[in-house]
Amino acid sequence: MAEEQKTKPCRFWIWALTSVFFRLILISFKGNLNLSSRPEVSTPLTSIRRLAEGYWLKQASMSPYAGSMYHGSPLLLSVLGPLTVQRIKGQPSHLLCSLVFVIADILSAMLLRGIGQKLQMAYGLNARLLGFLKSSRDKVILPCGDIAALVYLWNPFTIVSCVGLSTSPIENLAVILALYGAVTRRVPLAAFGLVMATHLSLYPATLAIPIIILLGYGLDAPPIKLFLQTRSVENEKSSTSTVSKQAKSKQTTRLPFLWKTVVHFLFWVLLWSLYVLVLCALSLNKYGGLEEMFKRTYGFILSIEDLSPNIGVFWYFFAEVFDFFRNFFLIVFHVNILFMLLPLAIRLKHRPCFLAFIYLAISSILKSYPSVGDSALYLSLWALFVNELVDMKFSFFLFCGYLGISLLSPVMHNLWIWRGTGNANFYFGNAIGYACFQIVFVVESVSAMLNHDRALKRSNSNHGKSQELSH
């Protein structure tokens, strides 16, 4: 076993390095394999060509948002803009940008591994506390960190969005940074990640809830009731587990909420957001300032001005809605995400990492301009929970569904746009199928997690009964 454990890290690094080499090989192909023109990869928010256009406009002393091409952050423009212009002789264009995205992917994978290792430790600890494991070797706990990192690196969606030069790797990095900071209790890092992720694309703002829960209550754990059941059983055994001591002393059914950390976190969020806003105001001083930035970035995301086809479901609908009803339907579509936040938070507050994953999955289904880069993120976060989601139903069906949709999507797009033998319904049918598979995925993973908790509860009570009987 020790040898296996030693070779496992080696195998992880081998696989990780292989994926990096694979990306570097793909980058060296001319024209990025035309992936940057695929609507599934580059949306109006993440396209590198629009970023290059925004940078050119800025260099020509015009507002980068002029002409409604670029809709991202001005800070991203300052960082990535010069890289889009520099050309190394003999190499494909945008090589430096591709290298930046590869580095972003590597960093995300490493951070995911860190999150996974923490989660794995917490899982083992909780299992031992609940009395399932006599030692850490009894039941094989899967190394969810390694698995999640490898899933992220080898997911075809991630590779495609990295090689296809969309800015999704950077957005994903910001989100994973926020989660890593929250999991390892590094408050400034978590605040920075959250602020950057919200600044780059609006939807990670929903992650504020799971991050606050993470900082306040701690990592994912089975519901507190199970611990209390164990405590009542072990009361008679008078064990010295720390949780039962805490529970005895407190005599309440509530976990302590660490207000100090949360206030600290909010302070840092405020600090970083002020800093980012001041920087944006500085760089857009002559071109309309912050108001212009908010109108063109967040306003663009919320008002869905661009109706070019993508892998989401909004463009088709808003192409045919009457102007009179447009605002109403915009509100409906955006509230669709918002109204799910609170019930999920109530139900899954004992598992904040999983809650973050569900929020990310929902926002990547229902966001204005989805792309495969968003799916890459939540699929790898899903892999963090392999220990709990072992018994997920329909996994093969979903795998085949995702595979089929991603293969059919370019075909339908080609039929519609290039050959003219299909029409928008072909492509939109594909997008609807993709949304359905994603929804089934989300629903099944939540139900698998809740079933896992119920199974724990049942086995815990059985365990308790058996202990009582033995007494």
Binder of another protein out of 66, 103, 125, 408 (CB under 8 A)? 66
Can you tell me which residue has the tokens 């089934």?
440
Q: Which of 9, 31, 67, 256 binds another protein (CB under 8 A)?
A: 67
One residue of 75, 99, 141, 439 binding another protein per CB under 8 A: 75
The partner residues of 166 in beta bridges, in order of sequence, read: 47
CB 400 within 8 A of CB 406: no
User: Alpha helix locations (H) across 221-351?
Assistant: 224-237, 242-250, 259-283, 289-296, 298-303, 314-320, 323-347
Which region, judged by CB under 8 A, interacts with another protein, from 63-71, 124-132, 155-163, 422-430? Answer: 63-71
Q: Where are the alpha helices (DSSP H) in 63-143?
A: 74-85, 95-129
Single out the residue of 95, 189, 307, 321 in contact with another protein (rule: CB under 8 A).
189
Contact between 186 and another protein (CB under 8 A)?
yes
Q: Which is nearer to another protein, 275 or 325 (CB)?
A: 275
Q: Which residue lies nearer to another protein by CB, 78 or 246?
A: 78
223 and 211 in contact (C-beta within 8 Å)?
Answer: no
- Is 91 one of the binding residues for another protein (CB under 8 A)? no
Q: CB-wise, 55 or 369, nearer to another protein? A: 55
Tokens for 391, please give them.
């018994």
Cβ at position 57, least distance to another protein in Å: 8
- Which region among 62-70, 137-145, 358-366, 410-418 touches another protein (by CB under 8 A)? 62-70
Residue type present at position 455 = A
Determine contact, residues 383/251, Cβ cutoff 8 Å.
Answer: no
CB of 363 to another protein, least distance (A): 24
Residue 206, Ramachandran bin (φ over 0: left; ψ between -120 and 50: alpha; else beta): alpha
One character per residue 247-286, x = contact with another protein (rule: CB under 8 A): ----------------------------x---x--xx-xx
Q: How far apart are CA 152 and CA 204, in angstroms?
A: 19
End-to-end CA distance of the chain: 36
Asked if residue 169 lies in contact with residue 101, where contact means CB atoms within 8 angstroms, the answer is yes
Of the pair 66, 258, the CB lying nearest another protein is at: 66
Question: Which of 188, 404 has the CB closer to another protein?
Answer: 188
Does 62 sit near another protein (CB under 8 A)?
Answer: yes
DSSP class of 68: G
Measured CA angle at 273 (ends 268, 278), to 5 deg: 130
In the complex with another protein, which residue's Cβ is closer, 74 or 401?
74
| Nearer CB in complex with another protein: 62/96 | 62
Q: Which part of the chain contacts another protein (CB under 8 A), choosing from 72-80, 135-143, 212-220, 315-323? A: 72-80
Please say which residue, 21 or 275, places its beta carbon nearer to another protein: 275
Task: Write the CB contacts of 194 (distance below 8 Å, at least 6 apart in sequence).
Answer: 178, 204, 205, 207, 208, 211, 269
| Phi–psi pair at 166, nearest 5 degrees | -105, 160
Beta strands in 109-196 (DSSP E): none
- The least distance separating another protein from the CB of residue 63, rounded to whole angstroms, comes to 7
Q: x/- string (CB under 8 A) for another protein, residues 282-321?
A: xx-xx-----------------------------------
Q: Which of residues 142-181 bind another protein (CB under 8 A)?
A: 181
Determine the distance from the C-alpha atom of residue 8 to the mean position of all C-alpha atoms in its chain, rounded to a whole number: 26
Among the listed residues 79, 332, 400, 455, the single contact to another protein using CB under 8 A: 79
* Candidate residues 15, 56, 78, 241; the one interacting with another protein per rule CB under 8 A: 78
CA dist., res. 118 & res. 124, Å (int): 10
Residue 184 vs 229, nearer CB to another protein? 184
CA torsion, ordered 305, 309, 311, 314, to nearest 10 deg: 40
**Interface residues toward another protein, by CB under 8 A:** 62-63, 66-67, 74-75, 78-79, 181, 186-189, 192, 275, 279, 282-283, 285-286
